[in-house]
A = this chain, B = another copy of it.
Amino acid sequence: MRILLVNPNTTATMTATAADSARRVANAGTEIVAVTSSMGPVSIEGYYDEAFAVPGMLIEIAKGEKEGAEAAIIACFDDTGLDAARALADIPVIGICEAAVAATAFIAQRFTIVTTMERSRLPLEHLVHRYGMSGRCKVRAADIPVLSLEDPASNARERLRAEITLALKEDKAEAIVLGCAGMADLTAELRAEFGVPVVDGVAAAVKQAEALVALGLSTAKQGAYATPVTKPYKGLLEKFAPQELKAS
């Protein structure tokens, strides 16, 4: 089974972190094809970056599907462009926030996502609401830039720990969800340290992707995820017309 893992930002080191996490949990027969978007922001921090991470991500989805991927994962915790990707692709597409929240709901009644920047908190609350978990899942921001997670000199990991401590105490969280693909490598040590389930969305998405493929399930095409209508696209984005992207 081949699963495509798209990092929708353009920082290859984050792709590597996510790919490591993915391969650690994948089945023996699963190949993880990890790609970095070729265009757009180096990190996704809020609504504006998110908008410009979508085109590059969709190119990779279209290309990966043509090259035989059986499922695709969008490896940014904003589930960037998930709806558009589901409309475009015939294979199932999984967001890592969606997968993390779904997995955690099987093991805890109340849990908390700890994410990076304050400006991502409300967008994640919207996702959680849409995934049906707003009554069970809170969102906190540790107020750290995304790329600082990769900088050993920053205090990002201390701040993350401090926010997890607050979540356990004030939210009575029974489990913690790591709210950024760049935190995936911390999962094991945080579990050991805090003694509660700690969930990484990348790993959760891999298992969910394998599950949907094994179940023979893919995106329903009657409704909001119907295949995009053939039509001209103009200017700089001409080649993104759905019929072009699928054919390219």
Q: Is A68 an interface residue (CB 8 A)?
A: no
* Residues in B whose Cβ lies below 8 Å from that of A134: 132
- 0/1 string, A78-96, CB within 8 A of B gives 1: 0001011011100010100
- Are the C-beta atoms of A94 and B119 separated by less than 8 Å? no
Copy number in the complex reads: 6
Nearest CB in chain B to that of A102: its residue: B102
The answer to whether A235 touches B106 (Cβ under 8 A) is no
> Which chain B residues lie closer than 8 Å to A145 at the CB level?
229
Contacts of A226 in B (CB 8 A): 46, 118-119
* Given A40-B233, A88-B48, A106-B98, A118:B223 Cβ within 8 A: yes
Give A209 Cβ to nearest chain B Cβ, in Å.
9
A94 neighbours in B (Cβ, 8 Å): 106
Known: A39-B234, A84-B47. A172 touches B223 (CB 8 A): yes
Give bound CA distance, A248 to B55, whole Å. 21
Q: Which residue of chain B is the closest to A174 with respect to CB atoms?
A: B220
Contact assessment for B109 and A224 in the assembled complex, using a CB-CB cutoff below 8 Å: yes
Interface set, chain A 111-156, CB cutoff 8 A to B: 111, 118-119, 121-123, 126, 130-136, 145
Chain B residues in 8 Å Cβ range of A86: 47
Q: Does A110 contact B (CB under 8 A)?
A: yes
A132 B136 Cβ-Cβ under 8 A: yes
Query: What is the bound-complex CA distance between A222 and B104, given in angstroms?
Result: 14
Q: How far is the CA of A58 from the CA of B58 in the complex (A)?
A: 19
Is the C-beta of A166 less than 8 angstroms from some C-beta in chain B?
A: no
Q: How far is the CB of A13 from chain B (nearest CB, A)?
A: 14
The smallest C-beta distance from A42 to any residue of chain B, in angstroms, reads 5
For A196, the chain B residues whose CB sits under 8 A away are: 220, 222
With A10-B234, A132-B132 known as contacts, the answer to whether A52 contacts B224 (CB < 8 A) is no
A237 sits at the interface (CB 8 A): yes
**Which residues does A use to contact B, with CB under 8 Å?**
10, 25, 27-29, 38-43, 45-52, 54-56, 58, 81, 83-84, 86-88, 92, 94, 98-99, 102-111, 118-119, 121-123, 126, 130-136, 145, 172, 174-175, 191, 196-197, 199, 203-204, 207-208, 210-212, 214-220, 222-226, 228-229, 231-238, 240-242
**A–B pairs, 9, beta carbons within 8 Å:** A40-B234, A40-B235, A40-B240, A47-B87, A48-B84, A56-B235, A56-B236, A110-B223, A203-B215
